[in-house]
């Protein structure tokens, strides 16, 4: 038998963990617009590199997207308190951003751009990052995004150029555009629910 004090302490710790996870998920949802932004940036870079035949398409587009995101973050501001979980998630995504920027810049400047290898690396890195975030937040929707990115990585290793392109475009659409919009919708619902709750308290 667990003493009542220890049982209560355990319940409080579990409640705290669940609260931190929920706050971390809400924090990720508040960044849903960045998923959409980067999804659009990926499409722009793909179109530019395909029809413009430029090795600088990816690094230039990524830099432009980073600058635009910085400007939008400055205007949007931070409305939510930073927690340990949200800091951990942010650290994972920042590490991904630095890794992708270094990789894309190096591939672009060196001219060693191979589409199959490129998609395999991007798919593996984005799959790993989404999976890490999903496991921390216990979020099945984001883990599904990780699986889609991993499938794209495998398709790039074994599939034809056409299959690789389709897998990559589909992964961007579902894991960036759709998931980003999903996060934005959930954030809007949370904001409306919070506003309604405050209105009921003041009524």
| Token digits of residue 28 | 């990720």
- Check the CA dihedral 136-140-141-144 and report its sign: positive
Percent of the chain having pLDDT more than 90? 31
- Predicted confidence (pLDDT) at residue 1 exceeds the cutoff of 80: no
- Given this model, what pLDDT does residue 80 score? 53
> Residue 12, by phi and psi: left (phi above 0), alpha (psi -120 to 50) or beta?
alpha
User: In the chain, where are the structural domains located?
Assistant: 31-74+86-189
What's the whole-number average pLDDT of the chain? 80
Crossing angle of helices 140-158/179-202, nearest 10°?
170
Sign of CA dihedral 150, 174, 100, 28: negative
**Cα–Cα dist 187/176, whole Å:** 16
The pTM of this model reads 0.78
Please tell me which residue, 51 or 181, carries the higher pLDDT value. Answer: 181
Confidence class for position 122, pLDDT limits 50, 70, 90: very high
Q: How far apart are CA 54 and CA 185, in angstroms?
A: 36
Q: 81 — phi, psi (to 5°)?
A: -70, 145
* pLDDT at res. 137: 84
- Please give the radius of gyration of the chain, using alpha carbons only, rounded to the nearest integer: 20
Greater confidence (48 vs 101) lies with: 48
pLDDT at 189: 81
44-81 residue pLDDT tens: 988 988 887 777 787 788 889 889 988 887 776 555 55
Greatest mean pLDDT among 58-67, 130-139, 190-199: 130-139
Cα–Cα dist 92/51, whole Å: 33
CA–CA distance, 133 with 146 (Å, rounded to integer)? 9
> Confidence band (pLDDT; 50, 70, 90) for 17?
low
* pLDDT band (50, 70, 90) for residue 108: low
Question: For 136-176, how does the pLDDT look when each residue is reduced to its tens digit (9 = 90+)?
Answer: 888 899 999 999 999 999 999 999 999 999 999 999 999 99
Cβ(143)–Cβ(165) under 8 Å? Answer: no
Q: What is the mean pLDDT of residues 131-135?
A: 91
pLDDT digits (tens, 9 = 90+) for 25-43: 566 667 778 899 999 999 9
């Amino acid at each position: 038998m667990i003493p009542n004090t220890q049982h209560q302490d355990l319940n409080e710790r579990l409640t705290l963990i669940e609260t931190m996870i929920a706050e971390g998920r809400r924090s990720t949802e508040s960044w849903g617009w960045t998923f959409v932004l980067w999804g659009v940036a990926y499409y722009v870079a793909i179109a530019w590199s395909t029809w413009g035949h430029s090795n600088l398409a990816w690094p230039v587009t990524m830099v432009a997207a980073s600058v635009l995101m910085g400007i939008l973050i400055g205007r949007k501001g931070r409305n939510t308190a930073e927690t340990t979980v949200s800091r951990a998630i942010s650290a994972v995504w920042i590490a991904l951003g630095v890794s992708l920027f270094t990789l894309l810049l190096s591939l672009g400047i060196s001219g060693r751009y191979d589409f199959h290898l490129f998609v395999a690396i991007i798919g593996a890195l984005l799959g790993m990052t989404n999976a890490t975030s999903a496991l921390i937040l216990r979020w099945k929707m984001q883990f599904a995004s990780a699986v889609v990115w991993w499938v794209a990585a495998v398709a790039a290793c074994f599939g034809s150029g056409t299959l690789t392109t389709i897998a990559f475009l589909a992964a961007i659409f579902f894991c960036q555009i759709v998931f980003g919009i999903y996060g934005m919708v959930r954030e809007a619902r949370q904001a409306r629910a919070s506003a309604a709750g405050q209105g009921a308290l003041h009524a």
